[in-house]
Amino acid sequence: MTQSRSDMAILRGLGHEVAEIAGLPEQRERIALWRRLNGLDPERPMVMIDQIPWHEMDVEGELVCRCDDPFHRELEAQLRRRLYQWRHMRVDMVMEPTVDVAKVIRGAHFGINASEDRAILDPQNSVVGHYYKDQLKTEADLEKIRMPDVSLDTDATAEAEAKAHEAFDGVLEVRMQGLHPSFAFWDRLSEWHGVEASLYDLVDRPDFVHSMVGRLTVCYHALLDQLETKGLLGHPMSTVHCTGAFADELPAEGYDPNHVRAKDLWTFGMAQIFVSVSPRMHEEFELRYVRPWYERFGLGYYGCCEPLDRKIDIIRTIPNLRKISMSPWVDVLHGAEQIGSDFVFSRKPSPALVATDSMDADAVRSDLQETYDACAANGTPLEYTLKDISTVRYDPRRLWTWADIAMDVVQQ
C-alpha cells in the first residue's frame, strides 16, 4: 500500500512530537497519581478538561488539518488535538505513545434512531437543541427495539490497520480499538420516547415503562455478550467518562489483550432525565436494572449531569462502583459528607463559568475551592472534570486560564 508522501510526512512529524512528549518522566508520574486516586488513596485531587468546542479553539493554525486522505485527516485531527491540549491546557492528561484506530464494527445498535427537531444557534457547533418525537407509544412499538447483531468488518478493519501502520510504524504504537460499552439506557429512551412522555409514564404507565426498560436492558446485555465473545471489546482504558481510568485493579487476573473481558474494563452509566425523580423511583426504574450490568465489569463510574448528592445511599449499592458524578447542581458539602472516603467525588465544575460575556477568574477559583474544602474536610477523594463545554465565546484562552487556576487549587 502506497500512500501520499505529503500525508505520511505530516502524520509522522506529529507522531514524533507525541512520542517525544510521551517519553517524559512526568507521564509515569501522572499515571501513578491517577492510580492512587482511583485506588481511593489520592496524593492530591486530579484535573481533566474534555468535550471541548474544537471549532472555537484554533490558534495560529495549530488545529488546521493538511492531509488529503480522509482517513489520514481523522488521525491528524486526533494528534493535533492531543498536542494542543498538552501545550495549552494539559492539567492531568497523560500523553501515551499510541494512536487509536477504531475497528470497523457493524450492528452494535438497537434498530431505532431518534426522530427529532433541532434548534441550532451556531452552525459550526455540534452542540444543538433537541426535541425528540415519541416513537414508543404502545407495547407493539417496543418491537422497534431490536437485538444487536454484532460483526467485525474484517476487510475494512485490515485496510485501516495497514494504513495506520504504514504511517506510524517506528514512531507510535497503533492500537486497534474495540468498543467500551456504557449503560445509559435512559439517554436512549429519551431520544426514542421523548423526555416528557418518559417522565409522565413513570407515574401513569409504570408497567409499560418496565416493559420498555426490560426489553432494552436485555438488548444491552446481548450486545455485551457478543462484544465479549467475538473479541470486540476495547483495550483497558486510559479514560472513563472524561476522567483518568488508570487503576491497579485493571485489567483483571488472566487478562488477554486479544480477548478482552468486561471485568478487565471500567463501565459508566447515568439517568440524566431523573433530575426530579424521587429516590424510590430512581431505584425502581433505574438502579434495579443497573446492578447486573455493573456486576460484569471491573470498575464503575455512575452519573453525569443529574444531581446525585441526595441519593448517595442508593447509588452506593451499585456493584464495583468507584466514582460518583457530582454535577454543577449539587450541594458539594452534603455530597462530600455522604460519599466520605468510599468513592471518588467526580466533580463537574460549571462550564457556564467559561461561557459568560466576560470570564470571571475569581468566580472560577471560588467554585473550585469550595469543592476542594468540602472534600478535604471529609477525607473524600476528588477529581475535577470540566466538560460539556458548549462554547468559550471563541476565546480559547479561557480554557487555558481555567486550567491554570485549577492546577493552582489542587496543588495548594
CB contact at 8 A, 327 and 308: yes
> Please, is 300 exposed, middle or buried when counting C-beta atoms within 10 Å of its C-beta (0-12, 13-18, 19+)?
buried
Determine the residue type at 123.
Answer: P
**Average pLDDT for residues 146-155, to the nearest whole number?**
98
The three cell numbers locating residue 26: 512526568
Q: Map out the domains of the chain with their CATH numbers.
A: 5-410 (3.20.20.210)
Contacts of 334 by beta carbon, 8 Å cutoff, 6+ apart: 309, 310
Backbone angles phi, psi at 42, to 5 degrees: -75, 145
**Average pLDDT for residues 244-270, to the nearest whole number?**
97
Map residue 58 onto helix, strand or coil. Answer: coil
**Average pLDDT for residues 339-356, to the nearest whole number?**
97
Q: Is the pLDDT of residue 181 over 70?
A: yes
pLDDT in tens, 366-408: 999 999 999 999 999 999 999 999 999 999 999 999 999 999 9
Q: What percent of the chain has pLDDT over 90?
A: 93
pLDDT number for residue 261 = 97
User: Count of alpha carbons within 13 Å of 134, Cβ hemisphere only?
Assistant: 13
pLDDT number for residue 257 = 92
CB contact at 8 A, 234 and 178: yes
pLDDT number for residue 238 = 95
Q: Is the pLDDT of residue 1 over 70?
A: no
Kindly state the DSSP code that residue 134 receives in the 8-state scheme. P
**Average pLDDT for residues 169-173, to the nearest whole number?**
97
Give the Cα-Cα-Cα angle 176, 179, 182 (nearest 5 degrees).
Answer: 155
Cell numbers 512520542 correspond to 19
**Average pLDDT for residues 310-333, to the nearest whole number?**
98
Contacts of 113 by beta carbon, 8 Å cutoff, 6+ apart: none
pLDDT number for residue 16 = 98
pLDDT in tens, 76-119: 999 999 999 999 999 999 999 999 999 999 999 999 998 888 88
pLDDT number for residue 2 = 58
pLDDT number for residue 127 = 84
Cell numbers 467485525 correspond to 152
User: Residue 214's CB: how many other CB atoms inside 10 A?
Assistant: 12
Kindly report the average pLDDT of the chain as a whole number.
96
Describe the strand order of the beta sheet including 266-269 as a list of residue ranges. 46-49, 382-386, 344-347, 321-326, 299-302, 266-269
Exposure class string for 89-126: b at 16+ Cβ within 10 A, else e: bbbbbbbbbbbbbebbbeebebebeeeeeeeeeeeeee
2 or 34: whose pLDDT is higher?
Answer: 34
pLDDT in tens, 194-241: 999 999 999 999 999 999 999 999 999 999 999 999 999 999 899 999
**Average pLDDT for residues 173-180, to the nearest whole number?**
96
Kindly state the DSSP code that residue 144 receives in the 8-state scheme. G
Determine the residue type at 319.
Answer: P
